[in-house]
Amino acid sequence: MSATSVALSIAALKKDLLNADGPAITTMRNYRFAIVQYAPEDEYSMRREVSGLSRELEVGGWRVLSIDLQKLILDRLRVQEDDFVARVIERERGLHKKHPERAMQHLKNVITPLIEGPDGIAADCARLIQEMSGRYPDDIDRTLALIGRTGALYPFLRTSSLLRHLDGHTGNVPVVLLYPGERRGPSGLSFMGMLEPDHDYRPRIYS
């Protein structure tokens, strides 16, 4: 995917958001999720395009909430006991010298339980979205939640799991997940182009 392709995907998303009858990113009224898929190497191009889209929507009277998954993960790590992060780093470094695969497994064992499931990172996203919709309950059709820095979840959590646990907890606010990876087939997505394709996606995919 090139920077041009990224721009085309965002343009298609913008057109559907601004549909005269309300956001048309999905045909399901009670499931307002979409995915913008892009190559991981186009991360900065995607950020520029999304920043431009956000500014344009806000000028037009929209409420735009940008959710940074990397920040949410770091926030969860920071609230652990004082020496938690230092101990995790020390252990990972020690293992990596001789057993890189064991070092990665150690990180998975530590981080995944902190972010997975309905009470994990999905709950943090839902809280932020609900706070936004609660402040502007009459503007749901002109509110957008953009979930980015998704690559921070790799390899600890699949994005399909995140969306599954978000379903039913967003107050019907349109939610767009920015997805670094590869599209394989009509609905298959390979996270970061590294994992086996996941076909467990209901949202519309822009790519």
- Please, what is the average pLDDT of the chain? 91
The pLDDT tens digits for 185-194 are: 777 888 887 7
In this predicted structure, what is the pLDDT of residue 142? 95
pLDDT at 6: 94
Would you state the pLDDT for residue 3?
72
Burial 153-166 (b: 16+ CB within 10 A, else e): bbebbbbbbbbebb
Residue 147 has which token pair?
């979930």
Residues 6+ apart with CB under 8 A from 154: 191, 192, 194, 195
Which pLDDT belongs to residue 97? Answer: 84
95 has a pLDDT exceeding 80: yes
Residue 109, Cβ neighbours under 10 Å: how many? 10
CATH class in words for 3-70+117-206: alpha beta
- Specify the pTM: 0.91
Top pLDDT among 166 and 195 is at 166
DSSP state at residue 153: G
Which ranges of the chain would DSSP assign to H, the alpha helix?
A: 3-17, 43-59, 69-78, 84-96, 100-115, 121-135, 159-166
The percentage of residues in the chain with a pLDDT greater than 70, rounded to a whole number, is 98
N-terminal to C-terminal alpha carbon distance within the chain: 8
Q: Are 49 and 13 in contact (CB under 8 A)?
A: no
Tens of pLDDT, residue by residue over 107-165, are 899 999 999 999 999 999 999 999 999 999 999 999 999 999 999 999 999 898 999 99
Residue 33 has pLDDT above 80, yes or no: yes
pLDDT at 198 over 80: no
Residue 101 backbone dihedrals phi, psi, to 5 degrees: -70, -35
CA distance 143 to 4: 26
β-bridge partners, 66: 146
Which of the pair, 198 or 179, is modelled with greater confidence? 179
- Provide the token pair at 195: 């994992």
* pLDDT for the residue numbered 200: 63
Q: How far is Cα 193 from Cα 183, in angstroms, rounded to an integer? A: 8
pLDDT over 90, % of the chain: 64
pLDDT at 69 over 60: yes
Per domain, the residue ranges of the chain are 3-70+117-206
Beta bridge partners of 175: 33, 145
